[in-house]
Amino acid sequence: MKISNHLNVFLILFLLTTISLAGCEKLDSNSSSTTTTTTQETVNPEKPTEIKNINNTMNLPTLKGKATVVMKVNGQSITIEVDGDNAPITAGNFVDLVQKGIYNGLVFHRVVKDPTPFVVQGGDPQGKNPNFPVTNLGTGGYSDPVTKAQRYIPLEIRPEYDETKKDPQIPDIVYGTTITTAPQLKHEYGVIAMARSNAPDSASSQFYFTLADLPFLDGSYAVFGKVTEGMDVVNQIKQGDRIESAEVVAGAENLKQNK
């Protein structure tokens, strides 16, 4: 479903001034809308702009190639092709967390379908606790159980290239900053991307599915895969629905633990 130009403008202004995909502030708690009272991913609410690439990227999991993840929600399957060719660290982080079982039981805390389809967002580990209020989710990320330190991954975007050409000139991936040129992995309907705060290198475990083409997000957030089967399931997700399970069904051998 395409978004009209005037709704694009509305959404851009709305994102920039209030919520962003991973902002650090909660919206007006007096609002009656269940989709606008959810918080977004907050990595450091006091000094979010000071987060830098804390992790040595050489020590982060990477995906060398493709992998397939099947996520079950409401008893139905969502098949995701994860692209380690164009987003190796972002894809590797997701596949690693899937293998660790981090996403099992987590809540989709943010579902924005009005005034036009936007995103379905989940992946906050605090949602594992059934007593944790859904409206307070959106502030958590994955913490290493040994070091107790939260894992952050850098913003990772490869500029566009023509992969249909023989021996294409593949541009280097850009890390730690947004880009203004077209990315290879675009915010098309049915992709999966990482949520983050306003600091570029603040993504951790939260992700979102796109419910429409969202080109105004291109170059600012890291897309790392796409839904190949089950977008009808994604479109039916409601705020508060849980991920029953997530499993790597192909390409697990492509995950490299760089520790």
Q: Looking at residue 80, which CATH number applies to its domain?
A: 2.40.100.10
Amino acid symbol at 136: N
Residue 116 lies in a domain: yes
State the residue range of the domain holding 156.
Answer: 5-43+65-253
SS3 state of residue 12:
helix
Amino acid symbol at 82: V
Residue 87 lies in a domain: yes
Say what the pTM is.
0.82
The total number of structural domains that make up the chain = 1
Residue 55 lies in a domain: no
What tens-digit pLDDT sequence spans the chain (259 residues)?
A: 444 444 454 444 444 333 345 443 332 223 233 333 233 333 233 334 444 544 566 689 999 999 999 999 999 999 999 999 999 999 999 999 999 999 999 999 999 999 999 999 999 999 999 899 888 999 999 998 888 899 999 999 999 999 888 888 999 999 999 999 999 999 999 999 999 999 999 999 999 999 999 999 999 999 999 999 999 999 999 999 999 999 999 999 999 998 6
Residue 93 lies in a domain: yes
**Using CA atoms in the order 82, 83, 89, 94, what is the torsion angle rounded to 10 degrees?**
-10
Q: 35: how many CB neighbours lie within 10 A of its CB?
A: 16
User: For residue 44, what pLDDT is reported?
Assistant: 34
User: For residue 55, what pLDDT is reported?
Assistant: 52
User: For residue 147, what pLDDT is reported?
Assistant: 84
Structure token digits, residue 89: 């660290």
Strands (E), 53-200: 62-63, 66-73, 76-83, 108-112, 119-122, 156-157, 174-175, 191-194
